[in-house]
Amino acid sequence: MSALPPGSTIGILGGGQLGRMLAIAAARLGFNVHIYSDTSGPAFDVCVAHTLGAYDDSEAVAAWAAKVDVVTYEFENVPLAAAAAAASKKPVRPNARALEAAQDRLAEKRFLESLGLAVAPFYPVDDTASLASAIDAIGTPAILKTRRLGYDGKGQARIATPADAGRALEAIGNAPAILEGHVRFDCEISVLLARGIDGATASYDIPLNTHVDGILATSAVPGPLSEALAARAQEAAARIADALDYVGLIAVEMFYAGKNAERPLVVNEFAPRVHNSGHWTLDACAVCQFENHIRAVAGWPIAATARHSDAVMTNLIGSDVNDWLTLAGEPGACLHLYGKNEARPGRKMGHITRLQALSSKIAG
Ligand code: AMP
């Protein structure tokens, strides 16, 4: 397919802050954005049109898709039936295979392992008996995670000793799950890779990510990886994207176990979408993750991912956002607010990226 010309309409499933930043990037390239969402959200303020509908209303999704030129999404839990309904009208990018692999932790782990990538030891868990077998096989400490719909550390329970098993199953509501061995790591990183419809790929520099209460707190570049290890991490992400015939921006979260570890990079999970750990690209790169995602899904060439500044992105969670006026006055800081009116605890209200002159990469 040839490139979509400016003036075409990009359909985005989901109306949150990622949809908002995608819509802004799309507008810069002369596209219109039509959002489909089940609730009014931050993306509604910046799009040309929006449709309110349930994600499991395949007929409504198909009718919406018929009105746009290409369909993409800003969250990975788009029902597969909705993706199929949209695909019956227009190309869906990234394709449904990426959604399918990312929606189920068991399928995801098996897929990553099939590509020869290092993952935490894992074992499927459906009930008390299979959890006991899993603990026998993997040992403790371990983490019980629901197969579906977990995010920001939700749907997870730590198992320090086998005696925690019953409580952990209860904590995740006895949902189908996997038990994962606890990975000993130095820090967490993520690869942000864009892949075009011609299969060309480009990765951003790899940030160091920190979390508080299971929610991303900061992403900083340069990160901790040597050039050689960064190349290996980027190659792993490209292998995932190639295997899925992926089009768009993919985020691959990894544990970094230190340069002397037997397996320095262990893949945790991937998100088939733009990602919070790539928000610094808005201010520290000529072309950000959002624009490269839009370029990819529109069939345009992927633009250079080079970074012109060092950066630390800090999420503004809940009441953090109340400091907006002070933050707005801070030299060298780029403030992004998502237009959400209620600063509930744990809610991502905005982020701020602090830029510094480019340093040389840390050798490791
Ligand atoms: P997830 O929802 O899989 O991204 O997990 C949320 C957070 O829990 C990760 O960012 C890690 O900090 C931690 N975590 C998840 N899985 C493991 C694991 N297998 N070993 C150690 N820490 C983990």
Give Cα 17 to chain centroid, integer Å. Answer: 13
Q: What local confidence, expressed as pLDDT, does residue 361 receive?
A: 55
| Residue among 194, 159, 201, 162 at smallest CA distance from 180 | 159
Q: What's the CA-to-centroid distance between 268 and ligand 1, angstroms? A: 7
Domains along the chain with CATH numbers = 9-92 (3.40.50.20), 121-181 (3.30.1490.20), 187-356 (3.30.470.20)
Specify the residue with its C-alpha closest to ligand 1, atom 8. 153
Whether residue 8 contacts residue 32, with contact meaning beta carbons closer than 8 Å, is answered with yes
Ligand 1 touching residue 187 (CB < 6 A): no
Ligand 1 touching residue 150 (CB < 6 A): yes
Per-residue pLDDT 10s for the chain (364 aa) are 589 999 999 999 999 999 999 999 999 999 999 999 999 999 999 999 999 999 999 999 999 999 999 999 999 999 999 999 999 999 999 999 999 999 999 999 999 999 999 999 999 999 999 999 999 999 999 999 999 987 666 789 999 999 999 999 999 999 999 999 999 999 999 999 999 999 999 999 999 999 999 899 999 999 999 999 999 999 999 999 999 999 999 999 999 999 889 999 999 999 999 999 999 999 999 999 999 999 999 999 999 999 999 999 999 999 999 999 999 999 999 999 999 999 999 999 999 999 999 886 544 4
CA distance 178 to 123: 5
Q: What's the CA-to-centroid distance between 144 and ligand 1, angstroms? A: 10
For 253-280, letters b (16+ CB in 10 Å) and e give bbbbbeeeeeebbbbbbbbbbbbbbbbb
Specify the residue with its C-alpha closest to ligand 1, atom 19. 182
CA distance 364 to 359: 15
Q: What's the CA-to-centroid distance between 244 and ligand 1, angstroms? A: 23
Bridge-based pairing of strands 142-146 and 156-159 is antiparallel
DSSP state of 8: -
- For a ligand 1 pocket test, name from 105, 143, 275 the mutation site with the most ligand atoms within 8 angstroms of its C-beta: 143
Ligand 1 touching residue 214 (CB < 6 A): yes
Helix (H) or strand (E) holding 73: strand 70-73
CA distance 254 to 273: 16
Q: What local confidence, expressed as pLDDT, does residue 2 receive?
A: 85
Report which ligand 1 atom has the smallest distance to the Cα of 154.
Answer: 2
DSSP state of 45: G
Phi first, then psi: give them for residue 157, nearest 5 degrees. -145, 135
Ligand 1 touching residue 180 (CB < 6 A): yes
Whether residue 149 contacts residue 178, with contact meaning beta carbons closer than 8 Å, is answered with no
| Residue among 221, 253, 218 at smallest CA distance from 236 | 253
Ligand 1 touching residue 188 (CB < 6 A): yes
Ligand 1 touching residue 269 (CB < 6 A): yes
Q: What local confidence, expressed as pLDDT, does residue 360 receive?
A: 60
Q: What local confidence, expressed as pLDDT, does residue 153 receive?
A: 65
Burial of 29 from C-beta contacts in 10 A (0-12 / 13-18 / 19+): middle
Phi first, then psi: give them for residue 31, nearest 5 degrees. -90, 155
Bridge-based pairing of strands 49-52 and 177-181 is unpaired
Report which ligand 1 atom has the smallest distance to the Cα of 209.
Answer: 10
Ligand 1 touching residue 121 (CB < 6 A): no
